[in-house]
């Protein structure tokens, strides 16, 4: 029975990605107020053996035989993967059977532990997150386990950067009224300068959060923050959320109909759509985001490519 592998899923950050979930549901070092998986049910900072490398490899093999052109195997799910004591062995075992790059989505809170840093060294891409620097803001937004101290967490990230030669993309999740004040943003900027990630990805709420009072930040404000951070040595980008029609300057009903009519005949990739409409993919994605949200269009993986098709 497959319990720990899911997908492949089409992802704009990672392309066609196969998910590996090595942590029980909502077992995490944090209880972030914006978590899209709901409140943390097992708040812990103690690492444990939840699933071993042998089990993961047995589940993974048939997927690898079936999907030849995966872009990433990604450790993700609804908990914190570095809580699994066997992570190092699991990554090593995956590396033995495939050349598909390995990515790890982590909240980064356990990077202060040398053994956690070491367990991630073989991965190709690490996507940690950092939302606060001041202890009170850290407490409000991430509701951490009592053993965690944000200064040590940041130092752990700095040390990890010194040891790790691969790609680090740091996500910063901004919640209106909590970590979007100028003082906290300045502290985040200084911390990021020390951490030296390859990219900084600014994000805000897109789906219903774990807690009701959480307010998203609009894309315009995220872009302003990104513009103020442009002199960081990292590439700073805003993770685009599905927009609304009125947010697209000169929204074209014709282009929307054009996309819908074209995919109605046969499912198409973004490259096909570029060729058929003569528009750039960055513009097409804005429309596809809206159509996906309105459930008019669905992304499907066929023969290891992402195709867009009508939902009905």
Contact in structure between 133 and 194 (CB atoms under 8 Å): no
Q: Figure out which of the listed residues 72, 74, 80, 178 binds ligand SF4, where binding follows CB under 6 A.
A: 80
Nearer to ligand SF4 by C-beta: 205 or 259? 205
Residue 273 in contact with ligand SF4, rule: CB under 6 A: no
Nearer to ligand SF4 by C-beta: 48 or 269? 48
Question: In angstroms, what is the minimal distance from the CB of 297 to ligand SF4?
Answer: 27
All residues at 6 or more sequence positions from 116 whose CB lies less than 8 Å from its CB, including other chains: 47, 82, 87, 110, 156
Nearer to ligand SF4 by C-beta: 32 or 51? 32
Question: In angstroms, what is the minimal distance from the CB of 30 to ligand SF4?
Answer: 4
Question: What is the DSSP-derived secondary structure letter of residue 182?
Answer: H
Residues 15-44 that bind ligand SF4 (CB under 6 A): 28, 30-32, 35, 37, 40
Q: Where are the beta strands (DSSP E) in the chain?
A: 5-11, 15-20, 27-28, 42-43, 72-75, 102-105, 125-127, 167-173, 199-203, 235-238, 297-302, 305-310
Question: In angstroms, what is the minimal distance from the CB of 127 to ligand SF4?
Answer: 11
Nearer to ligand SF4 by C-beta: 25 or 251? 25
* x/- track of binding to ligand SF4 for residues 218-257 (CB under 6 A): ----------------------------------------
Nearer to ligand SF4 by C-beta: 119 or 203? 203
- The candidate with the shortest Cα–Cα distance to 91, out of 62, 125, 68, is 125
Question: In angstroms, what is the minimal distance from the CB of 292 to ligand SF4?
Answer: 22
Nearer to ligand SF4 by C-beta: 78 or 262? 78
* Tokens at 308, concatenated: 């867009």
Number of residues that bind ligand SF4 (CB under 6 A): 11
Q: Among 76-84, 226-234, 246-254, 299-307, which window interacts with ligand SF4 (CB under 6 A)?
A: 76-84
Q: Name the phi and psi angles at 52, rounded to 5.
A: -100, 175
DSSP one-letter string for 256-292: HHHHHHHHHHS-B-HHHHHHHH---HHHHHHHHHHHH
Q: Sign of the C-alpha dihedral, residues 131, 132, 137, 139?
A: positive
Nearer to ligand SF4 by C-beta: 17 or 107? 107
Q: Sign of the C-alpha dihedral, residues 198, 204, 208, 211?
A: positive
| Cα angle value 162/166/169 (rounded, 5°) | 90
Residues that bind ligand SF4 (CB under 6 A): 28, 30-32, 35, 37, 40, 78-80, 107
């Amino acid at each position: 029975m497959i319990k720990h592998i899911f997908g492949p899923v089409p992802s704009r950050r990672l392309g066609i990605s196969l998910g590996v979930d090595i942590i029980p549901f909502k077992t995490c070092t944090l209880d972030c107020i914006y978590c899209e998986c709901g409140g943390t049910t097992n708040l812990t900072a103690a690492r444990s053996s939840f699933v071993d490398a042998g089990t993961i490899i047995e589940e993974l093999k048939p997927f690898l035989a079936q999907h030849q052109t995966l872009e990433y195997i990604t450790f993700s799910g609804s908990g914190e993967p570095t809580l699994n004591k066997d992570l190092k062995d699991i990554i090593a075992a995956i590396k033995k059977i495939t050349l598909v790059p390995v990515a790890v989505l982590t909240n980064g809170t356990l990077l202060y532990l040398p053994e956690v840093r070491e367990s991630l060294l073989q991965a190709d891409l690490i996507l940690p997150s950092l939302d606060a620097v001041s202890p009170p803001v850290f407490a409000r937004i991430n509701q951490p386990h009592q053993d965690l101290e944000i200064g040590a967490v940041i130092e752990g990230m700095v040390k990890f950067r010194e040891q790790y030669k691969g790609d680090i993309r740091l996500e910063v999740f901004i919640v209106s009224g909590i970590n979007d004040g100028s003082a906290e943003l300045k502290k985040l900027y200084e911390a990021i300068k020390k951490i030296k990630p390859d990219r900084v990805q600014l994000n805000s709420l897109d789906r219903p959060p774990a807690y009701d009072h959480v307010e998203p930040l609009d894309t315009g404000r995220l872009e302003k923050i990104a513009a103020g951070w442009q002199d960081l040595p990292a590439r700073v980008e805003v993770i685009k959320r599905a927009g609304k029609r009125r947010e697209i300057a000169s929204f074209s009903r014709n282009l929307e109909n054009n996309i819908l009519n074209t995919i109605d005949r046969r499912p198409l990739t973004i490259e096909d759509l570029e060729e058929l409409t003569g528009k750039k993919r960055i513009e097409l994605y804005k429309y596809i985001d809206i159509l996906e949200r309105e459930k008019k269009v669905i992304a499907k993986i066929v023969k290891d490519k992402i195709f867009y098709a009508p939902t009905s």
